């Protein structure tokens, strides 16, 4: 009986791990990047998923620290469901709302990350000395500032492109001007800080008995690849050498949120917080 329960719990965790990708693929049928798909329909279906999933999480996930990380599935589904990278062509000027929606999802991810970190500090589940707590919070504040700056910068990409074209300048010159080396380096620093902080948090949660070994192992592996990708992008200035293009997948702004979501799945497996 216990063995059957363990199998069910393992299958449930596997389903949760894959859930954003499964529902994102289903939502992709209504991607606003596909012709004749109104963005309002996409938002409506995503909103229904978010509402239902949020109710399920709040009802069945008794670990408070897992709440915001599990809810990270919502923006992840929204981004995956678009089934397309940002459209940097002139077509963006006809549909700026698509890129605005993308960065709304990313802002939502940053907000949920902030809620998780606030709970992490407030509940004081992980016994951390004062100096480490100050260092960790300082890193978190730098991460949050970088995320807000990065997402705002790219949220306003369509408006900046419209102004550039209105001045009679060439489309092909815009991106390297708007996302210049200074911007790239700022994002690189942000990714290094994000992956480092997430790794630190994952190790703390494991050491406190709040997650299983698979969580910090997966987190550290993905974070290490993310840091390596940031380093390669820094030295190549976004001109990844042939054969290393896959590293860009670990540099996209949504990757840290996917790792955080999986940390939430690991936390949800521990139904209660340890006693203070």
Question: E strands within the chain?
Answer: none
Tell me the per-residue pLDDT of 112-123, one tens digit each, with 9 for 90 and over: 999 999 999 888
- Cα–Cα distance for residue pair 276/227, rounded to 1 Å: 34
Q: Which DSSP string corresponds to 126-151?
A: S---HHHHHHHHHHHHHHHHHHHHHH
pLDDT of 16-41, one tens digit each? 999 999 999 999 999 999 988 999 99
Rounded to the nearest 10 degrees, the angle between the axes of helix 181-207 and helix 214-236 is 170
Angle between helices 39-60 and 96-123 (to 10 degrees): 10
Q: How confident is the model at residue 275 (pLDDT cuts 50, 70, 90)?
A: very low
pLDDT band at 273 (very low <50, low <70, confident <90, very high): low
Integer Cα distance of 143 and 21 in angstroms: 26
When pLDDT is averaged across residues 186-199 and rounded to a whole number, the result is 98
Alpha helices (runs of H) in 208-254, residue ranges in sequence order: 214-236
With 0-12 CB in 10 A as exposed, 13-18 as middle and 19+ as buried, what is 268?
A: buried
Q: At what angle do helices 2-27 and 255-268 cross, to 10 degrees?
A: 150
The predicted-structure confidence for 206-240, as pLDDT tens digits, reads as follows: 988 888 899 999 999 999 999 999 999 999 988 88
Q: Identify the H or E element spanning 8.
A: helix 2-27
Distance CA 270, CA 274 (A): 10
For residue 203, what pLDDT is reported?
A: 94
If one counts every other C-beta atom within 10 angstroms of the C-beta of residue 165, the result is 14
Q: Across the chain, what does the average pLDDT equal?
A: 91
Residue 276 has pLDDT above 50, yes or no: no
- For residues 193 and 177, what is the distance between their CA atoms, to the nearest angstrom? 25
pTM for this prediction: 0.93
Residue-wise burial string across 61-94, b where 16 or more C-beta atoms lie within 10 A, e elsewhere:
bebebbbbbbbbbbbbbbbbbbbeeebbeeebee
pLDDT confidence tier of residue 128, bands split at 50, 70 and 90: confident
SS3 category, 116 = helix
């Amino acid at each position: 009986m216990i063995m059957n329960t363990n199998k069910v719990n393992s299958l449930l965790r596997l389903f949760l791990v894959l859930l954003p990708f499964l529902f994102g693929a289903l939502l992709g049928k209504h991607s606003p990047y596909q012709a004749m798909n109104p963005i309002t329909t996409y938002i409506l279906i995503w909103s229904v998923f978010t509402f239902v999933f949020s109710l399920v999480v709040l009802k069945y996930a008794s670990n408070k620290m897992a709440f915001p990380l599990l809810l990270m599935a919502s923006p992840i589904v929204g981004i995956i469901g678009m089934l397309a990278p940002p459209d940097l062509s002139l077509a963006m000027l006809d549909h700026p709302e698509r890129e605005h929606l993308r960065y709304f999802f990313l802002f939502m991810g940053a907000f949920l990350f902030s809620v998780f970190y606030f709970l992490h500090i407030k509940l004081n589940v992980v016994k951390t000395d004062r100096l480490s707590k100050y260092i960790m919070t300082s890193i978190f504040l730098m991460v949050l500032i970088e995320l807000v700056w990065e997402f705002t910068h790219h949220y306003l990409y369509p408006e900046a492109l419209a102004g550039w074209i209105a001045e009679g300048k060439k489309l092909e010159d815009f991106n390297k001007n708007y996302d210049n080396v200074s911007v790239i380096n700022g994002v690189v620093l942000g990714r290094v800080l994000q992956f480092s902080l997430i790794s630190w948090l994952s190790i703390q949660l494991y050491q406190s008995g709040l997650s299983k070994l698979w969580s910090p192992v997966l987190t550290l592996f993905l974070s290490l690849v993310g840091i390596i990708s940031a380093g390669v992008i820094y030295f190549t200035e976004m001109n990844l050498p042939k054969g290393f293009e896959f590293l860009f997948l670990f540099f996209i702004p949504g990757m840290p949120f996917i790792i955080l979501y999986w940390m939430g799945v690991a936390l949800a497996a521990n139904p209660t917080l340890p006693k203070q």
